[in-house]
Amino acid sequence: MSIEAEPTPVHSKREVVQAMWGLMLGMFVAILAGTVVSNALPRIVAELKGSQSIFAWIVTAELLAMTATVPLWGKLADLYSRKLLIQASLSLFVVGSLIAGFSQNVEMLIVSRVVQGLGAGGVTALATIVMAAMIPPRELGKYSGMFGAVFGVGTVAGPLIGGVLVDTSWLGWRWCFFIGIPFTLAAIYMLQRTLRLPVVRNEKTKIDYLGAFLIVSGVSTLLIWSSLAGQKFEWASGWTAGLVSLGVLLLVAAVRVEATAHDPIVPLSIFRNRTVSLTTLASALVGIAMFGGTVFLSQYFQLSLGKTPTQAGLLGLPLIFGLLISSTVAGQLITKFGKWKAFLVAGGVFMVGGMLLLSTITAQTTVFMVSVHMFVLGVGVGLMMQNLVLAAQNDVPAKDLGATTSTLTFFRSLGGAIGVSALGAVLASKVSSLAAEKFGPMGGLTGGEGNVPDISVLPPEIKAVIADIYATATAEIFLVGAPFAVLALLAVVFIKEKPLKETSGDDRLAAEMAAGH
């Protein structure tokens, strides 16, 4: 096998910091794309004359494309220029954003969201891979903390930014897509100037296209099922049986192909590593708890507490602050002391606590108390998210860094997508049953057919009942999500702490090649 590697460049501290800023800018806009439209959807669908079913697809199309392609981007990073790949993914994101901003109909918008998702999948997978290549795990803690903070801020700040843009008459919903373009172009420019990574050339390596196709098809089928079940058809129905069976069959076929492929997209051998298996499981569970729970808080603020879209976005700030503080402080402490497991366990405890506290909210809960509950959850997610990636990256050969990192990112996104769909179905079911209980045949006031009521046109006495219904239903989804947080805590308890390595991923790869591994 002919393998060539360019000499590993030595990065100055300034270059590392500048490259990190470029990566974090790219990560921020990629994550923002998935959440910024949430408060703008009613306006977008109305202006483009779309139906109620289009609501979910504007979000799901981007999430589906991003999640399903992450493993492929990770594999490409092990084979080709990581600098070129991350610039290509950022460029795809710019193209998708431009098409979305100029969309004249919902079909054009959904296509643009797929293109955005392809770019976002590359950015989220490659940013942490590039970081691990440049920086030793021993020093990676503080940078991982920053990335965790950026990921969380992008997730939670999206609804706030989207709400402000929609409420600002001279901007409007199209700027939900345009706003990320200058930041993305700045990220491309910064990475062009500062990112210098060796390219590993393996003449006999080939992309496992069949494995990639089966993984993307299987995951996409299950995501389409989880996004439509409970809305377009019942959870227990022929459609569910057909889509789940097809998705599982495709993934079983993918496992068979990956087991025998010379260069698999997801090397199954990485799961023999206990740390990788446990961190992958925990990442999926964190995704379910974080995305599945928090995505519905904006609706609670608007329908139960009577806030505007902008106010609802601002009320998400305690979650951001909790995540920001815990992620950055933990990162600095991990770099200083070299110990990481205690932060993961503490994160699991805080996450469980936050989910349970949020399961107690009502329409009468004060904004201050909800903020405290959200801050606790934010601290937990901040301690868990990036430190799971750090633990896994530290415990695998450098040649598997790309596949391992993208696998964790993939399962976290997959957990989030399934969590949003499943907990959304729980919310819709609870709202329907409570509306029927309160209003009887007048249940249509809650919007029937999955629609969200416009409380501004309802009489005060009806508005109060609607507020109670949505508060009760929102509390229930946090209660349903809490066991997933408990399982994530159990997973990290069983991870064995290992000393953080002192050399970067590229230096380790050069050593592995020299040793003939």
pLDDT of residue 359: 92
Interatomic CA distance for residues 210 and 34, integer angstroms: 28
Coil/strand/helix, residue 496: coil
Contact 382, 324 (CB under 8 A): yes
Structure tokens at 310: 């902008």
pLDDT of residue 237: 86
pLDDT of residue 205: 58
The pTM of this model reads 0.77
Domains in the chain, CATH or no CATH each: 3-207+263-514 (1.20.1250.20), 208-262 (no CATH)
pLDDT of residue 9: 53
pLDDT of residue 231: 65
Return the H-helix or E-strand segment holding 3: strand 3-5
With b for 16 or more beta-carbon neighbours within 10 A and e for fewer, the 451-475 pattern comes to: ebbebeeeeeebbebbbbbbbbbbb
Structure tokens at 394: 């530290």
Residue bearing tokens 């710019």: 94
Residue bearing tokens 């227990």: 236
Structure tokens at 215: 């993984």
Structure tokens at 71: 């493993």
Please, what sign has the CA dihedral across residues 458, 462, 464, 470? Answer: negative
Contact 479, 358 (CB under 8 A): no
Residue bearing tokens 């879209």: 309
φ, ψ of residue 438 to 5 degrees: the values are: -85, -40
Tell me the pLDDT of the chain (517 aa) as tens digits. Answer: 344 444 455 556 677 777 888 888 888 888 787 777 766 776 777 788 765 556 567 777 787 788 778 878 877 877 778 888 989 999 999 999 999 889 888 888 889 988 998 998 888 888 878 877 777 777 777 777 777 677 767 776 777 788 788 777 778 888 888 888 998 998 888 888 877 776 655 555 567 788 888 888 888 888 778 767 766 777 778 888 999 999 999 999 988 988 888 777 777 888 888 899 999 999 988 888 777 666 678 778 888 888 877 777 788 788 888 888 898 888 888 888 888 899 999 999 999 999 999 999 988 889 999 999 999 998 998 898 878 888 888 888 877 777 787 788 788 877 877 777 777 777 777 887 887 787 765 444 444 444 556 666 667 778 788 888 888 888 988 998 899 999 999 999 999 888 887 777 777 777 766 776 5
Contact 79, 205 (CB under 8 A): yes
Q: Quote the radius of gyration of the chain (alpha carbons, Å).
A: 22
Interatomic CA distance for residues 374 and 354, integer angstroms: 6
DSSP alpha helix (H) spans, 102-136: 106-134
φ, ψ of residue 460 to 5 degrees: the values are: -55, -40
Residue bearing tokens 């669908």: 45
Q: What is the pLDDT of residues 225-267, one digit of tens each?
A: 876 776 677 777 888 899 999 999 999 998 898 888 877 777 7
Contact 292, 414 (CB under 8 A): no
Cβ-based neighbour number of residue 206 at 10 Å: 10
pLDDT of residue 32: 80
Interatomic CA distance for residues 340 and 342, integer angstroms: 6
Interatomic CA distance for residues 139 and 132, integer angstroms: 10
Torsion of CA 346, 347, 353, 354, to 10 degrees: 150
φ, ψ of residue 286 to 5 degrees: the values are: -65, -40
pLDDT of residue 447: 43
Residue bearing tokens 């509390």: 475
pLDDT of residue 492: 93
Single out the residue of 55, 313, 26, 33 nearest to residue 177, CA to CA: 33
Q: What is the pLDDT of residues 483-504, one digit of tens each?
A: 999 999 999 999 988 888 777 7
Interatomic CA distance for residues 318 and 376, integer angstroms: 9
Tell me the β-bridge partners of 245: none
Contact 310, 160 (CB under 8 A): yes
